[in-house]
Chain A
Amino acid sequence: MLNIKDLHVKLEEEDKQILKGVNLSVEAGKVHAIMGPNGSGKSTLSYVLSGRDGYEVTGGTAHLGDVDLLDIDPEERAAAGLFLAFQYPVEIPGVGNMTFLRTAVNAQRKARGEEEMSAAEFLKVVRAKAKDAEDRRRHAQAPRQRRLLGR
């Protein structure tokens, strides 16, 4: 699924090599954790894969399925299925969560040639998902609560 081959990356601004030949293959459905000391390039790898400015790829390749990640813009990588969770999610003052989520969802739908969702449709979907999540949370808690109550 995700194939990284001999990836070399340096900082754009200064002459500092961060990644010196990273090889990694992640199959579909597998979870991998990348661990390492501070400054070993974990964040750099994730940023380079998702397309953040400031890095220069000096060698190697990265593919998600058949898609050459290094060749396309961040939003196209997102549409291809890459998702980067931020350590500290960015707050954008004045932009409501719903507006932001809908903009993101619609951008993805557009990229896939699907029809965009109206505000009302989107609200319905979010409510259903929220209810689903709430049900699951309750369900997961139930045995624990029973234990606490000594039943």
Chain B
Amino acid sequence: MAAPAEKRTSLDERLDVIAMPEGGWSQTARVDALARVRASGLPDRRDEYWKYTRPDTLVQAVAPSAAVFDVEEAPVFGTVDRLKIVFVDGVYDADASDDLTLEGVRIERLADTSADIHWARDLYGTLEKNGQTPVLRPLASLNTAFATDGVLLHVTGAVSKPIALIYLHESETSDAILHHVVKVDAGASVTVLENGPAAARFNNVMEVDVADGAKFHHVRAQGRDHERRAVTHIFARLGSESTFKSFTLTANGVMTRNECIIELTGDDSHATVAGACVGDGEFHHDDTIFVTHDAVNCESRQVFKKVLRNGATGVFQGKILVKAGAQKTDGYQISQSLLLDGDSQFLAKPELEIYADDVACSHGSTSGAIDDTALFYLRSRGVPQAEATDLLTLSFLAEAVEEIEGEELRDEINARLVSWLERRRG
């Protein structure tokens, strides 16, 4: 099947400039994914799923250049005891990375095609493919077909420290495609951290298979480079009594689209996906979430908070799908924006689609300014206006930050938010 006629040109142009890497064991999945892209074409502004975010710069053949931002502050998670895996513009940096051995997990790289990594072969591109219905996500299929590297984590026990993927950006024209696969065995647990701008344009996919009773925790801070662009997808499948938790902090970046597609397939499982974003000026940030409840007595939470100013745009498209039979589902979704001026905008599309009759699903979406009463309360206690506004902004973001597990990681994220606010205040 060929792509719709109006999408063929952009697809051909894009495919002309990338080559499929020698995939080894992943070759079949890559060829299959390429066929999916050819059938669907790449997203364009007429697609309903891209109504609020223009995909042009994410799909165009050559990545728009992005200046490398000189960050004067210490990198996020710098003080956390972690195993570092470093990619510079999407290229693995062995010298900067730690030794890839850690108890309770086997770490391998996608680019290492010599080994036949059986467990990954069963997963690579599989969850991404499942995630293509009912909504097409062609940029994720493009990723599966063309990813040059990524990590393959097979978690077999309780991993003692977080595994940190660090994405450095050094070239103004880099166009990186990384694809990670995480398999958490029954009863095992792992924390994965991601931080950094990665490239001028970054297409990142993470497929996460969480087995029965297993636990996956993910905290991400997307780099501060103003001109970087990113499209990311997380595809997760949850077994019974398992837990999935993901939090993303986005500060800066001219274009970010984060998609998270979660399927609760085992009874009594729990999924949380949360995000805090702070945008100033030329900033477009899109969170697109799709949670499918396909088992009994599962809980899911979506908690998104955005602070926007000077014409920044925030988008939230969040869906909870409760399949017939997914009784006792508890679905929660909240998306809120704090608009610090009249030029910024927040576009939200919360969706619930429920086919079971014994479920509790709630959703709420608000846009608002700083609460006058609270601001006056603080000022009447002597706190100057700028400081009071910052305190209220942190208070607004707190509900999302609290979804992070562990005080150390929460503090790291909070520290970033505080310094962002301080910089804005000058």
Interchain CA distance A53-B369 in the complex, whole Å: 15
Determine how close the nearest CB of chain B comes to the CB of A92; give it in whole angstroms.
5
Q: Verify A103–B387 contact, CB threshold 8 A.
A: yes
- B377 engages A93 (CB within 8 Å): no
Per the 8 Å Cβ criterion, residues 76-106 of A in contact with B are 77-79, 83-84, 86, 89-90, 92-95, 100, 103-104
- Are B372 and A53 in contact, CB atoms less than 8 angstroms apart? yes
Query: Whose C-beta in chain B lies nearest to the C-beta of A94?
Result: B398
A90 and B377 contacting across the interface, CB-CB below 8 Å: yes
Q: How far is the CA of A115 from the CA of B398 in the complex (A)?
A: 29
Contacts of A111 in B (CB 8 A): 382
Complex Cα–Cα for A95 and B398 (A): 8
**Inter-chain contacts of B397 with A (CB < 8 A):** 94
Q: Complex: how many Å from CA A92 to CA B392? A: 7
Q: Does A136 contact B (CB under 8 A)?
A: no
A-B pairs with CB below 8 Å: how many?
Answer: 72
Residue in chain A with minimal CB distance to B390: A103
Q: How far is the CB of A109 from chain B (nearest CB, A)?
A: 9
The 8 Å CB contact of B376, one of A52, A93, A103, A104, is A52
| A69 vs B151: C-alpha distance when bound (angstroms) | 63
Chain A positions within 8 Å of B382 at CB level: 75, 78-79, 104, 107-108, 111
A102 → chain B closest CB, angstroms = 11
Count how many chain A residues have C-beta atoms less than 8 Å from C-beta atoms of the other chain: 25
The yes or no answer to B399 lying at the interface (CB within 8 A) is yes
Question: Is there an interface contact between B376 and A95, defined as CB atoms closer than 8 Å?
Answer: no
Q: Return B158 CB to nearest CB of chain A, in Å.
A: 30
Q: Mark A30-74, 1 if CB is under 8 A from B, else 0.
A: 000000000000000000001111000000000000000000011
* Inter-chain contact B391/A103, CB cutoff 8 Å: yes
Given contacts A74-B380, A75-B379, A78-B379, A92 and B391 within 8 Å (CB-CB) = yes
Tell me whether B376 and A74 are in contact (CB under 8 A). yes
Q: Is the CB of B385 within 8 A of A73?
A: yes
The verdict on B415 contacting chain A, using a C-beta distance below 8 Å, is no
**Complex A-B: 26 CB contacts under 8 Å:** A50-B380, A51-B376, A73-B384, A75-B383, A78-B379, A78-B380, A79-B382, A90-B373, A90-B377, A92-B374, A92-B377, A92-B378, A93-B395, A94-B394, A94-B395, A94-B396, A94-B397, A95-B391, A95-B398, A100-B378, A103-B378, A103-B383, A104-B378, A104-B383, A107-B381, A108-B382
Q: Which A residues fall within an 8 A CB radius of B?
A: 50-53, 73-75, 77-79, 83-84, 86, 89-90, 92-95, 100, 103-104, 107-108, 111
